[in-house]
Amino acid sequence: MNKKNFDSDFCGSLPLHQINMIQSYGYLLVLEREDLKIIQASENANEILGLAVQQLVRTSFRDYITKEEADNLYFKFQTDIIEKVPLPLTIKTEGYTGRFVAIAHVKNGYLILEIEKAGEENSFLNVFQELKYVMAEINRSESASQASSVVVHQLKKLSGFDRILMYKFDEDWNGTVIAEVKEDDMDAYLGLKFPASDVPRQARNLYLKNPYRLIPSRDYTPVKLYPVINPVSQAFIDLSDCNLRAVAGVHLEYMKNMKISASMSIRVIRNDKLWGLISCHHRSPKYLSYEVCSVFELLSSVISNKIASIENKEFFQYTSALQEKKSRLIGNTYSYLNLSEGLLNQDINVADLFNAKGAVLTFKGTTSRIGDVPDEEDLKNLIYWLQSKGDEEVYSSRNLPGEYEQAASYQEKVSGILSIPIDAEKGEYLIVFRPEVITTVTWGGNPEEAVRFEADRQKYHPRNSFSAWQEIVSQTSLPWTEQELEVAESLRSFIFEFTTKHLKN
């Protein structure tokens, strides 16, 4: 099936870094680092600083906070800290004193302050005891799905969101809901798969820098900066790292279609790559203070570490087992000084190595085969096709009939192929085959309708139904894993060395 890929073709190119407005639950100031002079301010800043933005700009932020706070702010950012740093602030204007948190970071040479009301005073011990408990629960888990289930349940108790789910990405960046806890009268998403474009590439990339994204209410009025264009750089300031950044319109519509008003998503990272998101939903607006968001952030790293340690251990065990099998095959080949004896005819063979059902070796005018492989004529044509592709490297596909139509006539036996060229020009190959595995994928709404364009082909909307939509996937084998492809590559090097050193004639 040739799916539309809105992730790379469309949604993935929306310029999120050029959104120049903020959500209204906080205030944003752009300061010069040297003298803390206000260069730009969000139009709502008058609510806390007492002056209209037109008058605010060019004043010094020092005038509104205590001397200690101003010095702290100044000194913290003399070095090139790129991490966001939270700073407590007491803002004093005429007749008004308020406690705030400023989340500060440097962008384009400027100091960007995102200011939110400080949350309720909560003793460190209170928060810590809750956290310790959840952390202990997470750490006891033995699988990623168990850890996910623990974390969604615990977060629901801690935060009171209506629905919390763990959303895990696959190799094509589609995501499946692997754990969910929700209020009874809400739709269930557990087990459903969502297409990559729902959280497109650039939105996913932002989680590599920012641990979470909070949208307290989709019904907010975006707030502009004053002046809109930064007067020094004459450009939009890049707000992509800001928590307050206004939300892409298409995603607000998506939330509406999901019947939610507020959302919070927290990253799960494994080996520096986004593994999944914990997505929290609320049917009415829900604001979380910076302090509560920080608890989520901390739990995000606890769960990330746990999942990484579980999966890295599984990865290691699996890789060692593969290596061990490969070594046995190589040992056998050396003992018999013969490729087909060593790789196809002993107690272990290449089909076992690659969890395949058939294998073929075409070498020096002889074809050796084991298990389920294409018939002679079909095999000959398949090898011509492989030759015509001119690959010198390992080639693999889990959907051979999708790439080479003739294979459709034997798709049951052969839907997956992994071919290792020995001498492609002479038609010499080692090939393993996997059979078709027919699966049913249940999507959250038809993925072909992930984007609905209006008649003008300009305006578009996200899909408006997330109810289960079944796709039967045929002509497809189990996927070839990264480790299997690496082993195939090292087997190719071995065969090259073996044939050149030991089988000279």
Nearer to ligand BLA, 12 or 435 (CB): 12
Least Å distance, CB 299 to ligand BLA, is 16
Looking at beta carbons only, is 225 or 495 nearer to ligand BLA? 225
Q: What angle do CA 160, 126, 212 make, to 5 degrees?
A: 50
What number of chain residues touch ligand BLA (CB under 6 A)?
29
Question: Which residue, 242 or 351, is less far from ligand BLA as judged by CB?
Answer: 242
Residue type, 456: D
- The arrangement of strands across the sheet holding 21-22 comes to 21-22, 223-226, 38-42, 27-31, 110-117, 96-107, 85-93
Q: Which is nearer to ligand BLA, 435 or 462 (CB)?
A: 462
- The CB-of-223 to ligand BLA minimum distance in angstroms stands at 15
Positions in 104-123 near ligand BLA (CB under 6 A): none
Residue 74's φ and ψ, nearest 5 degrees, are: -65, -50
Nearest approach, Cβ of residue 288 and ligand BLA (Å): 12
Q: State both tokens at 492.
A: 């190719």
> Of 385, 189, 163, 186, which is closest to residue 265 (Cα–Cα)?
163
Site string for ligand BLA, 448-487 (x = CB under 6 A): --xx----------x-------------------------
Which CB, 175 or 416, lies closer to ligand BLA?
175
CB of 137 to ligand BLA, least distance (A): 23
State in angstroms the smallest separation of the CB of 28 from ligand BLA.
Answer: 15
Q: Which of residues 14-53 bind ligand BLA (CB under 6 A)?
A: 14
Q: Is 197 in the site for ligand BLA (CB under 6 A)?
A: yes
CB of 307 closer than 8 Å to CB of 283: no
DSSP-derived 3-state class of residue 343: helix
- In which element (H, E) is residue 295 found? helix 290-336
Identify which of residues 14 and 51 has a Cβ nearer to ligand BLA in the complex: 14
Closest CA to 244 of 303, 298, 293: 293
The two three-digit tokens of residue 341, written as one number: 């004896």
Residue 62: CB partners within 8 Å, gap ≥ 6? 36, 70
Residue numbers 279-298 binding ligand BLA by CB under 6 A: 279
Short-list 119, 116, 204, 142, CA closest to 167: 204
Residue of 25, 64, 100, 167 that binds ligand BLA (CB under 6 A): 167
Q: Which is nearer to ligand BLA, 91 or 239 (CB)?
A: 239
CB 232, min distance to ligand BLA, A: 26
Q: Specify the residue, 158 or 242, whose C-beta has the smaller distance to ligand BLA.
A: 242
Binding mask 383-422 for ligand BLA (x = CB under 6 A): ----------------------------------------
**Structural tokens at position 380:** 């000959």
Q: Which of 433/443 has CB closer to ligand BLA?
A: 443
What is the distance between the alpha carbons of residues 338 and 364, in angstroms, rounded to a whole number? 11
480, 437 Cβ separation under 8 angstroms: no
Q: Which is nearer to ligand BLA, 189 or 395 (CB)?
A: 189
- The residue from 161, 169, 189, 480 that contacts ligand BLA (CB under 6 A) is 189
Within 198-217, the residues that bind ligand BLA by CB under 6 A are 198-200, 203, 213, 215
Check binding of 339 to ligand BLA (CB under 6 A).
no
Peptide bond into 222 cis (omega under 30): no
Comparison of 176 and 397: residue with beta carbon closer to ligand BLA = 176
CB 8 within 8 A of CB 193: no
Select 151 or 450, whichever has its Cβ closest to ligand BLA. Answer: 450
Residue 67 C-beta: closest distance to ligand BLA, Å:
37
Find the binder of ligand BLA among 263, 304, 475, 476 (CB under 6 A). 263
Minimum distance of ligand BLA from residue 161's CB (angstroms): 11
Positions in 233-262 near ligand BLA (CB under 6 A): 247-248, 250-251, 254
Q: How far is the CB of 57 from ligand BLA (least distance, A)?
A: 26
Tokens of 104: 């500060």
Phi, psi of 282 (to 5 degrees): -140, 140
Does residue 177 interact with ligand BLA by CB under 6 A? yes
Q: How far is the CB of 212 from ligand BLA (least distance, A)?
A: 8
Please give the full DSSP string across 119-131, using - where no structure is assigned. Answer: -----HHHHHHHH
DSSP annotation string for 118-177: ------HHHHHHHHHHHHHHHHH--SHHHHHHHHHHHHHHHH--SEEEEEEE-TTS-EEE
Residue 254, burial from CB neighbour count under 10 angstroms (0-12, 13-18, 19+): buried
Q: What is the DSSP letter of 221?
A: P
The CA distance from 172 to 191, in Å, is 17
Q: Which one of residues 110, 169, 194, 429 is an interface residue with ligand BLA (CB under 6 A)?
A: 194
134 vs 450, beta carbon nearer ligand BLA: 450
> Which residues lie near ligand BLA (CB under 6 A)?
6, 10-11, 14, 165, 167, 175, 177, 189, 194, 197-200, 203, 213, 215, 247-248, 250-251, 254, 263, 265, 277, 279, 450-451, 462
